[in-house]
Amino acid sequence: MSELETRERLTPGPASSAIQWDYAPSLEATDHFKLESRYDLFIGGKFVAPHSKRWFQTINPATEETLAEVAEGDAEDVDRAVREARRAYEKVWRKTSPSERAKYIFRIARLIQEKARALAVVETMNGGKPIKESRDVDIPLAAAHFFYYAGWADKLEYAFPNRNVAPVGVAGQIIPWNFPLLMAAWKLAPALAAGNTIVLKPAETTPVTSLMLAQIIQEADLPPGVVNIVTGAGATGAALVAHDDVDKIAFTGSTEVGKRIQRAAAGTKKKLTLELGGKAPNIVFEDAPLDQAIEGIINGIYFNQGHVCCAGSRLFVQESILEPVVRKLRDRIGTLRVGNPLDKNTDVGAINSRAQLEKIQELVSSGVEEGAEMYQTSCSLPTRGFWFAPTFFTGVGQSNRIAQEEIFGPVLSVLTFRTPEEALEKANNTPYGLSAGVWTEKGSRILKMAQKLRAGVIWANTYNKFDPTSPFGGFKESGFGREGGVQGLAPYVQLS
Ligand code: NAI
Ligand code: MG
């Protein structure tokens, strides 16, 4: 270690040595598109009023203002959508040639790109995430998924060599609120490429970009009934899971609901994939490039307000570098800009819902009660809407709730280790296994850790990087099945 590095590591910094530059507000415009005041269900290629005759208000969590009214589908509506999906499957989509299917998927991708600006603004207004994330991450990745799977549609015999490949049939897909359009893309694109038809159930707090996608699907001239979108809450999702004529269920969301769905699907013909929660370890060794690691830690947990199933929510720091890591972390989170998600300078936006905010608050109080030491930024938070200041805990015990349970908010638990074996043992000590991060200069150590970490995705010297070509999914209670890559086609095909 050079003298300079030693000094850097040992000099204690003042509580908030970082400089917070004030930028003039730079708000993304919202006048270049118009939302409907009310959205119906998208069934059989048309928007139709719900049988339930009920609509609910969907809000902007940063202001609590209503954005639109959205239909609440009931079991009858789900049945209508499944019947349309079945008809479209038997009469049209399974008979459509693979290269024709590809053209439709490609067209959807192009239309998402064309409407990217409006989609990004609406994603931010309905979900609370900073515009720079919806603009630079969510929407481009959603388009990329459709492009990628368009490419597979007429090459399935290369994806599964020496096998006969057939679609599964009607897929019921239930998605969460943390990446609304992106999760719709993850689910729809491989299913369409493989020749299935779909009933999609968006999350109740973030339905609007899925309904804009329904408009895109109409514009792309996809045959009616190939994609149906039924909005509503948990009961609507449960009706879809319970429907007899659904061949496959794909779910992303809480482990609790995932278990319930697994029970409901047991003993039926339904194929199932689940992508559930996480409590990812982000492991920093003493030889890691520290400033780069700090950026990765920040990105790993404060990105998208920590509403990320693969968030690096448990930071394991090698004991010898605990002091500089904690100091740098404290300085860096002091510079995060929390506030209006439509401002291009905002780093941390609004919490998605009041219920999620209450869950975060409750778990954070448990951390304080269990004796961990809390550090929270002193940024001022808006008075309306749902907000939580970036927070981390030191002195966290392995058995503390904040080290065990998914918080799904901008809250990091810092733990320590001495040897790689101890890091592995502690990192794997969780019911989850979705993702992990490793920070070290040593390539051999990266490989060794990656082999022994029980997680579906492992990032080395980076964090939260996504690509449509790369499979994503969990071990243990984080679920089963993979989305993305050639592996992402497997749940949507029957092989013989
Ligand atoms: P949730 O699991 O209840 O919701 C996810 C989706 O499932 C939504 O579309 C919802 O309407 C639907 N759903 C709810 N109950 C259902 C049922 N019985 N049958 C079928 N579908 C059902 O998640 P929630 O309540 O929004 O969040 C709770 C916690 O779950 C979060 O605090 C977070 O820890 C975790 N979560 C994990 C996600 C992930 O990406 N793995 C995404 C969202 C939440
Ligand atoms: Mg729930």
Model confidence pLDDT, tens digit, residues 231-268: 999 999 999 999 999 999 999 999 999 999 999 999 99
Kindly give the distance from the C-alpha atom of residue 461 to the centroid of ligand 1, in angstroms, as a whole number. Answer: 30
Q: Which numbered atom of ligand 1 lies nearest the CA of 261?
A: 19
Tell whether 119 and 267 lie within a shared domain. yes
Confidence of residue 98 (pLDDT cuts 50, 70, 90): very high
Residues 140 and 253 in one domain: yes
Classify residue 203: in a domain, yes or no.
yes
Q: What would the two tokens of residue 192 be?
A: 């369409």
**29 within some domain:** no
Q: pLDDT per residue over 443-467, tens digit each? A: 999 999 999 999 999 999 999 999 9
Distance 400 CA to ligand 2 centre (A): 23
Distant-in-sequence, close-in-space partners of 398: CB < 8 Å, separation ≥ 6: 415, 426, 429
Nearest CA to ligand 1 atom 42: 253
Q: What pLDDT is recorded for position 144?
A: 98
Are both 310 and 269 inside the same structural domain? no
Asked if residue 23 is part of any domain, the answer here is no
CA 167 – CA 193 distance, rounded (Å): 9
* 14: pLDDT strictly greater than 60: no
Q: Is residue 238 lining ligand 1, measured as CB closer than 6 Å?
A: yes
For position 19, what pLDDT does the model report?
53
Domain presence at residue 14:
no
Minimum-distance ligand 1 atom for the alpha carbon of 308: 40
Nearest CA to ligand 1 atom 43: 253
Ligand 2 centroid to Cα of residue 302, in Å, is 22
Confidence of residue 6 (pLDDT cuts 50, 70, 90): very low
Statement to judge: residues 182 and 233 lie in one domain = yes
The answer to whether the CB of 257 is under 6 A from ligand 1 is: yes
Domain holding 219: CATH number? 3.40.605.10
pLDDT for the residue numbered 21: 64
Structural domain harbouring 334: 281-460
Query: Quick one: pLDDT at residue 22?
Result: 73
138 alpha carbon – ligand 1 mean position (Å): 19
How many whole angstroms from 175 Cα to the centroid of ligand 1? 8
- Among 257, 354, 476, which residue has the most ligand 1 atoms within 8 Å of its CB, making it the best to mutate? 257
Sheet of 435-439: strands edge to edge?
Answer: 373-376, 391-394, 411-417, 314-318, 281-284, 435-439, 457-460
- What residues act catalytically? 275, 309
- Answer yes or no: is the C-beta of 123 below 6 A from any ligand 1 atom: no
Q: Does residue 32 belong to any structural domain of this protein?
A: no
Q: How far is the CA of 254 from the centre of ligand 2 (A)?
A: 7
- The response to whether residue 491 sits with its C-beta less than 6 Å from ligand 1 reads no
Q: Give the separation between CA 126 and CA 275, rounded to whole angstroms.
A: 23
Cβ of 229 below 6 Å from ligand 1: no
Q: How far is CA 39 from the centre of its chain?
A: 24
- Same domain for 340 and 221, yes or no, is no
In a domain, 50, yes or no: yes
Between β-strands 391-394 and 373-376, what pairing exists: parallel, antiparallel or unpaired? antiparallel
pLDDT-derived band at 193 (thresholds 50, 70, 90) equals very high
Q: If you take atom 4 of ligand 1, which residue's CA is the nearest one? A: 253
Which atom of ligand 1 is least distant from the CA of 175? Answer: 9
Asked if residue 152 has pLDDT above 60, the reply is yes
Query: How far apart, in whole angstroms, are the C-alpha atoms of residue 323 and residue 10?
Result: 8
C-alpha of residue 108 to centroid of ligand 2, in Å:
30
Is 184 found in the same domain as 319? no
Is ligand 1 within 6 A of the CB of residue 203?
Answer: yes
- Rounded to whole angstroms, how far apart are CA atoms 457 and 475? 10
Whether 6 maps to a domain, the answer reads: no
Count how many domains the chain has.
Answer: 2
Same domain? For 211 and 330 the reply is no
- For ligand 1, whether the C-beta of 265 sits within 6 Å is no
In a domain, 268, yes or no: yes
195 and 307 in a single domain? The answer is no
> Do 289 and 425 share a domain, yes or no?
yes
pLDDT at residue 20 greater than cutoff 90: no
Tell whether 342 and 480 lie within a shared domain: no
Q: Is the pLDDT of residue 491 over 80?
A: yes
What is the CATH number for 363?
A: 3.40.309.10
- Say yes or no: 292 and 261 in one domain: no
Conformational region of residue 265, where left means phi above 0, alpha means psi within -120 to 50, and beta covers everything else:
alpha
Smallest CA separation from ligand 1 atom 21, residue:
237
Residue-level pLDDT at 169 = 98
Considering the domain architecture, whether residues 404 and 450 belong to the same structural domain is answered as: yes
Is the CB of residue 483 below 6 angstroms from any atom belonging to ligand 1? no
* CA distance readout (Å), 433 to 183, 309, 438: 19, 10, 14
